A and B are shown apart, each in its own frame.
Chain A
Amino acid sequence: MKQGFELEANSGKRILVFRPSVSVGSQSTGGMFEPNAEWTETAKSNIQVALTDLQARLGNEVIVAPEAYGEDALVVEEHMALFAAVSQAVIDYQFFVGNRLPTKKRDNKADVFDWSLGDGVSDLPGADQADYGLFIFNKDAYGSTGRKILQVVALLGPGVAVKSGEHVGYAGLIDLRTGDLLWLNADAAMGGDVREVDGSEKRVRQLLEDFPGSDIGEE
C-alpha cells in the first residue's frame, strides 16, 4: 500500500471496476491449461456479485466501467496492459525481497511504495464518475482427474511431489486523478473455488483482505 494513503471505512467512495480478466479451466495430466468457458463465465459473474457485495459492506460504491469505443477503447486497452506490466514489476521487484530493480533500491530499503500509471488515467471513460479504479486478474486451473491420479501415484510410488492445479490472482487500486498505484494484492496460490458462489466470495475476500479501510479479511 502506498504510504500516507488512507481510506476511511464507510467513506462512500466510488470505485470504477475495469473489465476483470478471468480465466478458469483445468490442468491436464501433463500440466497444460485447458480453458473451460462455462466455468469462466460463472466465475466472472460470481466475482462481480461478490465484489459489489463486499465493497458495499465497506461503504464503497462499485461502478462497472462503461464499454469503450474508438479511441477510448485503445486508451483503455493501453492502460490495462500498463497496469499488468506495472503490477508484474511490483510483484517481481517489490514483493519479493532480494530481487531489486536498481532504480527502486532506495525505495525498497525505506519500504516506500511508489508506483504510478501516470495521470492519463483521468481520461479513461468513466473516470470522471469515480474516485478510484480497481483492476482484477484471476487465472484458475483446476487439476483434472488425470492430474490428481498422477499426483497421488507420484506421491505413493516414487514419492515425487506433483502440483495439481494453479490459482493465481491479483487486484490493484489506483487513484483516478494521479494514476498512482495505491494498493496491490497478489497471490499465486489463492483459495476459494470461483466456480461456486461461496468460493467466489472467499476469493474476492482474499483479494480484498487488506484493502484500504477494510476489515473483511478478518472474518
Chain B
Amino acid sequence: MSRISWLTAICATIFASTTPLNAEPAPAPPPFAGFYQPQGVDEIGWWREDDESERRLAASPLVIRDEKLSGYLKEVLCRAVGDDRCNATRIYVMREPTFNATMSFNGTMRVFSGLLLRMRNEAELAAVLGHEFGHFESRHGLNRFKAARTGTDVLAWGALLASMGPSYDTRRTYQSMEISVYGNLYRYGRDHEREADLLGLGYLNKSSLAPQAASHVWQNLMGEIEASAVAKGLKKPKFNAIAFTASHPPHGERAAYLTALASPDSSTRDYGAQRYGETLAEWLPTFLDDQIKLNDFGGSEYIIANLAKDGWTATLWNARGELYRTRGNQRDLVHAVQFYSNAIALDDSLAIAHRGLGLSLFKTGERTRGQQALARYLELAPDSDDAKMIQMMLPQETPL
C-alpha cells in the first residue's frame, strides 16, 4: 500500500514542468546552434523510423506536388524562423481539408490543405509554421516519447504491485495513479504546445511579419467553430475549458496569451495578405471544394464569408453556390441559383458555375433555363468527366 502511494508521488513529480507565461512579449529565440544531428539511442532510433516514413510520404498520393506552392511555404517558413534555421525541416502539403499541421522527430512538417484555406495572410501562416518549428527545435517529440515511456513503465509496475495485494484499497490507489499518470502526460503535451507557441512568437517578433497574426489564427478558428455549432443548433462551445485528454491548450487561452506575447511595436508590420492570396488563388477552388464536401454548413459558410471580406470573386460565389446546392433543400437551391448567377456575372467563362446553375435550375423546375446553362457548361468544358451524363439532360437532337 505505502509503496503504491510512494509511486504516485514519483510520477506526479516526473511530469511537473510548466512553461511560465507572463504578459511580456516573447523573447528572441536562442542563437542558431547549427544543423542538429540526433543524439542517443532513442533519438537516433526515432529519426531512422521517421526517415523511412518520410521516404514513403515523399511518394504518397496525398501530398500536393506543386513546386510553386511548396516553394512559397518554404519561403514563408524562412521568413518566419530565419534563413539559417529553415533548412533544418522539410514541408509537405497534404491534401486533407482539416485545420492542422504537424512536426515529427526528424523535421518532417506536414501542412494540411485545410489549414491553408483558413489562413488569411502570410503572417498567420508564418505563425503556424513557426509554432511547428518550435516543436522541432525543442525536441518535443523525443521528450514526449520519453515521458510516455516513463509513465507506462511506472504503470506497469503499479499494476503488478496492485495485483499482488488485491484489496479494494490497492485497486483504488492504482486507479488514481493511472488517472494521475495519464493526466500528467496530457498536461505535459499541452505544456509543449505552450512552449512551442512561446518560441513561435519569439521567431515572429524577430521577423519582418506582424506577430499579432498568431492570435488572429485562433480567434478566426473560434469564429468558425462557433458558426459551425450555431448552424447545427448546438450550444456555444466553451473556448476556455480544458478536457482531460486535450492535446492542446484551449483556443481561448491561446488567443489571449499569443496577443500578449506579440511585441506591441510590430503591429504595423506587413501581414502579406496579397502575396498569400495570389499564391493560393490557383488552389482555392480545389480547397474550397474539399471543404464543402466535409458537410459542415456553418463552418464552410464562415470560411467563404471570411475569404470574401476583401470582395467577392467568381470562385467564392461559385463555392457558396456549391455549398447551398449540395445541402440541397428546395430553399437552398433558390439561393444557389442566385450565387451561381453572381459568379457568372463576374466571370462568364467559369464552366463549373454554369453546371451548378443548370443543375439547381432543373431542381427548382426551370428546365429550359437549366438546359441553357448546362449547354453553356458543355460548350466551355466539353471534355469534363460528367460531359456524357450532362448531355443526357439536354434536349436530344434527332439522329440524322
User: Could you tell me which A residues sit within 8 Å of B by CB distance?
Assistant: 21, 23, 25, 28-32, 34-38, 40-41, 68, 73-74, 76-78, 80-81, 146, 150, 153-154, 157-158, 160
Contacts and interface: CB of A to CB of B under 8 A. Distances in A.
B45 A36 contact: yes
Contact of A36 (B41, B152, B156): B41
Interface string B266-310: 000000000000000000000000000000000000000000000
A194 B151 CA distance: 29
B163 A160 contact: yes
Interface in B128-166: 145, 148-149, 151-157, 160, 163-164
Contacts of B155: 30
Nearest to B148: A32
Nearest to A158: B163
Contacts of B61: 74, 78
Contact of A35 (B49, B151, B156): B49
7 contacts: A35-B48, A37-B41, A73-B59, A150-B157, A150-B160, A153-B160, A158-B163
A80 B56 CA distance: 9
B47 interface: yes
Nearest to A74: B59
A160 B162 CA distance: 12
A37 B157 contact: no
Given A35-B49, A153-B160, 12 more contacts: A25-B45, A28-B153, A29-B157, A30-B152, A32-B145, A34-B42, A34-B45, A34-B149, A36-B41, A37-B45, A74-B60, A150-B156
A31 B45 CA distance: 17
B46 interface: yes
B156 A37 contact: no
A81 B62 CA distance: 13
B23 interface: no
B179 interface: no
Contacts of B59: 68, 73-74, 76-78
A29 B153 contact: yes
Contacts of A36: 41, 45
Contacts of A21: 52
Interface string B190-215: 00000000000000000000000000
A23 B49 CA distance: 8
Nearest to A78: B61
A45 to B, nearest CB: 14
Given A32-B148, A77-B60, A160 B160 contact: yes
Contacts of A77: 56, 59-60
A184 to B, nearest CB: 21
Ranked 7 nearest A-B pairs via Cβ = A30-B152, A35-B45, A77-B59, A37-B48, A29-B153, A73-B59, A37-B44
Contacts of B153: 28-30, 146
A31 B58 contact: no
A30 B153 CA distance: 4
A37 to B, nearest CB: 4
A28 B52 CA distance: 22
A28 B149 contact: yes
Contacts of B152: 28-32
Nearest to A159: B163
Given A23-B49, A74-B59, A30 B156 contact: yes
B164 A157 contact: yes
A29 B357 CA distance: 63
Given A36-B41, A150-B156, A160-B163, A73 B48 contact: no
Nearest to A35: B45
Contacts of A76: 59
A25 B149 CA distance: 14
Contacts of A37: 41, 44-45, 47-48
Contacts of A35: 42, 45-46, 48-49
Nearest to B38: A37
A150 B45 CA distance: 24
Given A37-B45, A73-B58, A32 B149 contact: yes
Contacts of A29: 152-153, 156-157
A27 B52 CA distance: 20
B36 to A, nearest CB: 16
Given A28-B149, A31-B152, A146-B153, A157 B160 contact: yes
A79 to B, nearest CB: 11
A50 B153 CA distance: 36
Contact of A31 (B60, B156, B163): B156
Which of A30, A73, A80, A160 neighbours the largest number of chain B CB atoms within 10 Å of its CB? Answer: A30
A195 to B, nearest CB: 13
B13 to A, nearest CB: 18
Interface string B50-91: 001000101111000000000000000000000000000000
A24 to B, nearest CB: 9
B148 A154 contact: no
A146 B155 CA distance: 13
Which of A37, A73, A78, A80 neighbours the largest number of chain B CB atoms within 10 Å of its CB? Answer: A37
B10 to A, nearest CB: 14
Contacts of B58: 73
Contact of B164 (A28, A40, A74, A158): A158
B184 to A, nearest CB: 14
A73 B45 CA distance: 25
Contacts of B48: 35, 37, 40-41
Nearest to A19: B55
